[in-house]
Structure 1
Amino acid sequence: MIAATKADESSLRYRGWRVVLACFLMAFFMFGFGLYGQGVYLAELQRAHGWPGTLVSAASTFSFLLTSVLVIFTDDLLARIGLRALILCGLSALGASTALLALMQTPWQLYLAYALMAVGWTGMGTVVIATVLNAWFERRRGLALSLAFNGATCGGIILVPLLLSLTGSIGFRPAMLTATIVMVGLVLPVVVSFIGWPSGMSPSSGANADAGGVAVPAHSRRTLLANAAFWTMVLPIAIALLAQMGFIIHQVTFLEPLIGRHAAGLAVTVMAAMAVVGRLSLGLFVDRLDPRLACAASMTSQAAALFVLLQTTSPTVLLVCCAVYGFSIGNMITFPPLIIQREIGSTAFAAAMGLGTSISGIVSAFGPGIVGLVRSFTGDYTTAFAMCVMLDLVAAGVVLWRPGRRVKVVAS
């Protein structure tokens, strides 16, 4: 039992809600710059330097793969340097990355910028956010995670259009530097003021402290990899994210010939907006649900939306399908921490989140490529998206399997 459970989590005066605000801002800028903003960088760096798209996109792939490696060691970093120092390192790295993107002149600087972005993901990404909120909440954990992770979607909805607008009016370099200054000005004081462990948890031991603040042995990653409950959470999430990433990246290309560019853009907006609605809606009652059952239902709803989408050319039905699909998009990163906390426990939380996020990140990174490859072989998206439907259904079946064995506390 975590120390935070002794407090009234439903009260707005509970300090944990200020931690949620800090995590929201971290997710807003991390996902806004580190994920959704990459389309802006691709276009602007090609325009400014004449670099081929393959060079910039390869740097993006490098960044995501490096991130998937670095997040494995999140629990070690939390124990070694502490929560606040890790987040501030992540903020510094992300700020340096976005500033370098504005100022770079040579390709090697591009790869340095994307490497720094990977460090930013390690300090400000989903693993750290989930770990700190897991420590602060028990009864309202699902709501806290949903609210914080909505910052990720809002980063795409708000930050990217602002970057595009600023770039059009003052240029890419001033736009990136201005946005970087705003990010540091907003996130730095909030992190310094609000971020920390609950009373009774040792900052040095971080997520590996028990309720009395006594350090417990860290969990061996080998032990986690040998645990069936861990794999029946990680594999289906990875498979579902692979299908999800494949659809998201190819959505406009699929829809544009059917309903036109404007309507295809509207479909993306609707899907992103529904992701916010889905997170908020689920967050209100997810703490009373079985997270595995809710996760399977979300995967099944995405499979159903894709199946109907393949059967119609009606603009209205296509938009509805994108809305239904979007309703569950954000929740795919909300379910893993809830399942881990319930089935693996607090002492292994950071290690399991880091390892699970790494595996999911590596697997899902192949989603756009696999969908594109199947499409090139078959000539259209029917087979590719049908494959995504099957992947979602398989994932939904696997996540419902409940091995009875829990992870045991062992020394690393």
Structure 2
Amino acid sequence: MARRTGIFFGWQVVAAAFVVAVFSWGINFYGPSVYLHALHAREGWPLSLISAAITLHFLASGAIVTGLPGLHRRFGLVAVTRAGLLACAAGALAWGHATSPWQMVPAALLTALGWALTSGVAINAMVAPWFDRRRGAALSMAFNGASFGGVLFTPFWAALIAACGFAGASAWVALLVAAAGWVLAGRWLGATPQALGLHPDGAAGPPAPRPLAAPAGPLWRQGPFRSLSLAFALGLVAQMGLLTTLFSILAPALGEAGAGLAMSLATACAVVGRTVVGVALPPGLDRRLAGSANFLLQAAGCLVLVLAGDAAAVLVAGVLIFGLGIGNLLSLPPLIAQAEWPAEQVAAVLALLTAVNQAFYAFGPAIFGAALQGWGAAAPPALAAGLQMVAAWVLVTGRRRAN
């Protein structure tokens, strides 16, 4: 089929991974803010109680994701992805039908399972076998589904809740994800390049081998892994925390409608920034340098927000600069891991990296919310800028040790 259409099948896999990312991020990453608002409005439960269940969602997912490479080896990509999408659907349904606080616990554990089986490590596993030289561009396109998960699903949730309530909305979302995801996984994720007689990137021959010596010892004892995981954990704490408080920072100057539009523009900038880096990143460039530059770009945007005061145009400029780096915190770690570890270890590196990241950023909203409440609107972007500058330094320091 791939030869008849003239389209390299790997790009169809990228499109399928894009859709999986839309579903996964729409339910598991952007969805929790919807659950927080909807359950507080419907049930009157304290925000702190619902937030604790959301923190459980992220922490449990981080614990589960370390086993994902083993699940892929044992059951295959199709079965695990289907299970993950069904867990996403069941979790959304459970959040929507929770009528007692304890029911948020099984809901959080279901979405945690779905998030672990369909998020960044899974997207990399779908795309990586099909690309070598062009992996950066392919991963960027697939991970753009994460941004579109926010662009598409957040208003979709809002419209459905307005039309049929949170319980009804969750039922429609669950049906869509379960039905479409089941077909998608079976149709596009079961093939391998070898089974179709293809080579990575659609090339005439296999890529030249790039032998890398396997580092000694467990991952957590390896300096390059520690620096990579700590840098991106700090960056994601800053990003998650600032995004949680950003609407509240912008609303006094821009109004609620303007603040919402500015946050949508940040998401659009994430797509632009990720695509530019994925397509334009030179193959020979040290990818840690690209990661450090991305952290510093976001830090610059945060400092603009600190200095903006009530100047609407300056606030928007800070949001746009910050937004350009949002998407690369997802797409750069797989590229760094590809360059620094043997191919057979990359999945384990990304799984443990994701677990560390989620263990850190699960607490970002609480930390930044406290900073906003205690020190005002300038505190969250100032804190984020500091964390991102430290992250840039850690990543470069790890590069020196690794090389």
Same fold by TM (over 0.5)? yes
Q: Secondary structure at the match of 2:29?
A: helix
Counterpart among 171, 174, 188 of residue 177 in structure 1: 171
**C-alpha distance in 2 between matches for 1:259 and 1:116:** 37
C-alpha deviation, 1:383, in angstroms: 4.0
Q: Structure 1 pair 191/240, CA: closer, same or farther in 2 (3 Å)?
A: same
In structure 2, the partner of 1:350 is: 347
Give the aligned residue type for 1:303: A
Counterpart among 377, 396, 411 of residue 392 in structure 2: 396
Contact 2:300 2:385 in 1 (8 A): yes
C-alpha deviation, 1:299, in angstroms: 0.7
State the TM-score, normalizing by the size of structure 1.
0.87
Counterpart among 239, 247, 250 of residue 252 in structure 1: 247
Contact 2:245 2:365 in 1 (8 A): yes
Q: Does 1:86 align with 2:80?
A: yes
**C-alpha distance in 2 between matches for 1:154 and 1:249:** 18
C-alpha deviation, 1:241, in angstroms: 1.0
Q: Does 1:136 align with 2:130?
A: yes
**C-alpha distance in 2 between matches for 1:329 and 1:13:** 30
In structure 1, the partner of 2:311 is: 314
* Match runs of 1:57-206 below 5 Å: 57-196=51-190, 198-200=192-194
Q: Secondary structure at the match of 2:343?
A: coil
C-alpha deviation, 1:171, in angstroms: 2.3
Q: Secondary structure at the match of 2:290?
A: helix
Larger mean CA deviation between 220-229 and 384-393 belongs to 220-229
Q: Secondary structure at the match of 1:260?
A: helix
Larger mean CA deviation between 308-317 and 279-288 belongs to 279-288
In structure 1, the partner of 2:18 is: 24
**C-alpha distance in 1 between matches for 2:110 and 2:8:** 34
Q: Secondary structure at the match of 1:198?
A: coil
C-alpha deviation, 1:245, in angstroms: 1.2
Q: Does 1:331 align with 2:328?
A: yes
Q: Secondary structure at the match of 2:190?
A: coil
Structure 1 segments (4+ residues) deviating >4 Å: 219-222, 403-406
In structure 2, the partner of 1:360 is: 357
C-alpha deviation, 1:220, in angstroms: 10
**C-alpha distance in 1 between matches for 2:357 and 2:370:** 20
Q: Secondary structure at the match of 1:329?
A: coil
State the TM-score, normalizing by the size of structure 2.
0.89
Counterpart among 53, 61, 85 of residue 47 in structure 2: 53
Q: Secondary structure at the match of 1:187?
A: helix
Q: Structure 1 pair 285/131, CA: closer, same or farther in 2 (3 Å)?
A: same
**C-alpha distance in 2 between matches for 1:143 and 1:183:** 26
**C-alpha distance in 2 between matches for 1:226 and 1:360:** 17
Counterpart among 260, 269, 273 of residue 274 in structure 1: 269
**C-alpha distance in 1 between matches for 2:126 and 2:282:** 17
Contact 2:305 2:381 in 1 (8 A): no
**C-alpha distance in 2 between matches for 1:348 and 1:395:** 24
**C-alpha distance in 2 between matches for 1:350 and 1:144:** 17
Aligned residues: 382
**C-alpha distance in 2 between matches for 1:231 and 1:299:** 17
In structure 1, the partner of 2:299 is: 303
Q: Unmatched 5+ residue regions in structure 2?
A: 196-205, 207-213
**C-alpha distance in 2 between matches for 1:78 and 1:290:** 30
Give the aligned residue type for 1:314: A
Q: Does 1:385 align with 2:373?
A: no
C-alpha deviation, 1:34, in angstroms: 0.8
**C-alpha distance in 2 between matches for 1:274 and 1:12:** 32
C-alpha deviation, 1:287, in angstroms: 5.3
Contact 1:67 1:119 in 2 (8 A): yes
Q: CA RMSD in A?
A: 2.4
Contact 2:298 2:322 in 1 (8 A): yes
- Once the two structures are superposed, residues 1-45 of structure 1 have per-residue CA deviations (whole angstroms, 9 ceiling, x without a partner) of xxxxxx99xx96111111111111111011101111222212222
- Once the two structures are superposed, residues 41-61 of structure 1 have per-residue CA deviations (whole angstroms, 9 ceiling, x without a partner) of 122222333322222211111
Give the aligned residue type for 1:340: A
C-alpha deviation, 1:327, in angstroms: 0.8
**C-alpha distance in 2 between matches for 1:16 and 1:200:** 12
Q: Secondary structure at the match of 2:192?
A: coil
Contact 1:135 1:197 in 2 (8 A): no
Give the aligned residue type for 2:56: F
Counterpart among 14, 17, 24 of residue 8 in structure 2: 14
Contact 2:247 2:263 in 1 (8 A): yes
Q: Unmatched 5+ residue regions in structure 1?
A: 1-6, 202-210, 212-218, 407-412
Contact 1:224 1:230 in 2 (8 A): yes
- Once the two structures are superposed, residues 286-315 of structure 1 have per-residue CA deviations (whole angstroms, 9 ceiling, x without a partner) of 253432111111111111111122112321
Q: Secondary structure at the match of 1:395?
A: helix
Contact 2:62 2:356 in 1 (8 A): yes
C-alpha deviation, 1:396, in angstroms: 1.0
Contact 2:245 2:372 in 1 (8 A): no
Q: Does 1:234 align with 2:229?
A: yes
Larger mean CA deviation between 384-393 and 23-32 belongs to 384-393
